[in-house]
Structure 1
Amino acid sequence: MSRLDESRLVGSDRVLAVLKELARHADGAGLEELTRAIGSPKPTVHRALGSLRRAGLADQDARGHYVLGDEFLRMAFAHHEARPEHVRVRPVLESLAAHFGETSHYAVLDGREVVYRAKVDPPTGAVRLTSTIGGRNPAHATAVGKLLLAHRLTTREDVAAWAGTAELVRRTPRTRCTVEDLHRDLARTREQGYATDHQENETGVNCLALPVFLTSPSAPSGALSISALAYRTPLSALVEALGVVRGLLGPMGEAR
């Protein structure tokens, strides 16, 4: 979290800002560190931490550092496990990870970003991806994001309106960062029925994504992907195995 404008942090906003910053520190963070990150006075941050601790959403470890509380973790995991989409797509992700020996994801679109709702690492392999459930990436730089954008942004005007005046983040030298390039990529995705990410979000990582239809017969609820280390699974190998991926996905991958 970048330093926040103090004038925008009032009441519960400050508490939520502290909670979000606390989530960035798995090993805990001291009051001074949190104060610098939030950009609010130390007494304000201390009061916010007190509110979070009384609710069980934060705690203090033996070093005096603040960490997320057990109640927060219980709620988060319970909510995640109860999501129907997570339960339904998990067996497919496990089959894909085992078949390819690579990481599989299920992600949804949230504005200009994708959010990973489920992830399965390969059962074997010394090198694995650092993506996390709940993590985010720019939609235009990922296969899952481009797949979902292709269903929503069908014209160049749609792409331009979505991009707006903000510059599209360039994650690698291969990232599509212009309206024209992204529009062409989305058109190709619609024609193919799948999307690819050829080291556009992370150097050394290729990705193939297909739509998943869980809540609507015509609009994808999210996208499934195989994210592979390029040195051991080139993008061409993923595309050649498209039939295998569609077979494992089954009816969930078919629009009706």
Structure 2
Amino acid sequence: MEHTQTLDGSTAPDEDGSTGVDSGRLVGSDRVLAVLKELARYPGGVGLEELTRTVGSPKPTVHRALSALRRAGLADQDGRGHYLLGDEFLRMAFAHHEARPEHVRVRPLLEELAARFGETAHYAVLDGREVVYRAKIDPPDGAVRLTSTVGGRNPAHATAVGKLLLAHQLATVEEVAAWIGDTPLERRTPQTLCAADELHRALRAVRAQGHALDDQENETGVNCLALPVYATSPTTPSGAVSISALAYRTPLPTLVEALDEIRAVLGSLGEPHP
């Protein structure tokens, strides 16, 4: 059985009599949130048995978490008995996403870049060792498109947006090495920069040039150019805008040659204001 936290912050016994917080099991709100996050992985719905296995909690406790989520409108159950995210959760998520100040300001620029270059435009922010895509606009035409999604993540060191944002945080090779720490960087392609010294040189070039490049470092056949966006601070980039292109269709030199055009689209949003 599960243990719960009482109103005064103490730990009440689980139904099996255990009281230790260090039992390693998800309890209370943590379990409910774990179930909610797991539901997001199944847009077509998921059965209770499979959800119980993936969350790693007993079936009755997962069922109670689902019941709480359903009462709040954050989860729903379809005609097959499968559980999925509820309409209220989607309403809140989309409303929050659309209302973000940087999203409102950046989206029209992404639309213009995607239309001009016939490639995918992203807006991404840095989150630790990864970048998170906050907005994405696919080109209006073109049979082949990228599989990236809003909310999706990629390793920062392997992407143009990541290297651009890291360049504003990691000034020395020692800082780069400390950021890498004891966990080796993932080599996504043969082009990926994984050593501290080579990543430091790349970040130094980003600071000198004012833009960052991804020469098929995250995905073979896809290259990228990124520029900073100052949407929430006059001196520190809130994120970065990128044009991600299929290398055979828009080679990297073509994007570099269009730097002035891209900067013109970003306008004052792409310039710091000391």
SS at match of 1:134: coil
> Which of residues 48, 56, 68 is equivalent to 1:31?
48
1:46-99 deviation digits (Å, cap 9, x = unpaired): 111111111110001111111100000000000001111001011110110000
Match of 2:258 in 1: 241
**TM-score scaled to structure 2, two decimals?**
0.89
CA distance in 1, matches of 2:242, 2:25: 38
SS at match of 1:62: coil
The one-letter amino acid of 1:213's match is Y
Match of 2:11 in 1: none
The one-letter amino acid of 1:102's match is E
CA distance in 1, matches of 2:26, 2:53: 14
Match of 2:120 in 1: 103
SS at match of 2:168: helix
Offset at residue 8 of structure 1 (A): 4.4
Identity of counterpart residues, as a percentage? 77
SS at match of 1:152: coil
Match of 1:112 in 2: 129
CA distance in 2, matches of 1:229, 1:9: 43
* Alpha-carbon contact 2:25-2:57 (below 8 Å) kept: no
SS at match of 1:223: strand
CA distance in 2, matches of 1:255, 1:157: 26
Match of 2:4 in 1: none
Offset at residue 191 of structure 1 (A): 0.9
* Alpha-carbon contact 1:171-1:201 (below 8 Å) kept: yes
Report the RMSD for the aligned CA atoms in angstroms: 1.3
CA distance in 2, matches of 1:88, 1:218: 17
CA distance in 1, matches of 2:252, 2:266: 19
> Which of residues 39, 42, 53 is equivalent to 2:70?
53
Match of 1:7 in 2: 24
Match of 1:183 in 2: 200
Match of 2:224 in 1: 207
The one-letter amino acid of 2:52's match is T
Match of 1:145 in 2: 162
> Where do 5+ consecutive residues of structure 1 fail to align?
none
1:90-119 deviation digits (Å, cap 9, x = unpaired): 111011000000000011111111111111
* Alpha-carbon contact 1:6-1:39 (below 8 Å) kept: no
The one-letter amino acid of 2:152's match is G
> Which of residues 248, 260, 267 is equivalent to 1:231?
248
SS at match of 2:175: helix
* Alpha-carbon contact 2:161-2:242 (below 8 Å) kept: yes
> Which of residues 87, 91, 98 is equivalent to 1:70?
87
CA distance in 2, matches of 1:149, 1:12: 34
> Where do 5+ consecutive residues of structure 2 fail to align?
1-21
1:197-231 deviation digits (Å, cap 9, x = unpaired): 11111111110000011122211111000000111
Offset at residue 6 of structure 1 (A): 7.3
**TM-score scaled to structure 1, two decimals?**
0.96
CA distance in 2, matches of 1:141, 1:45: 37
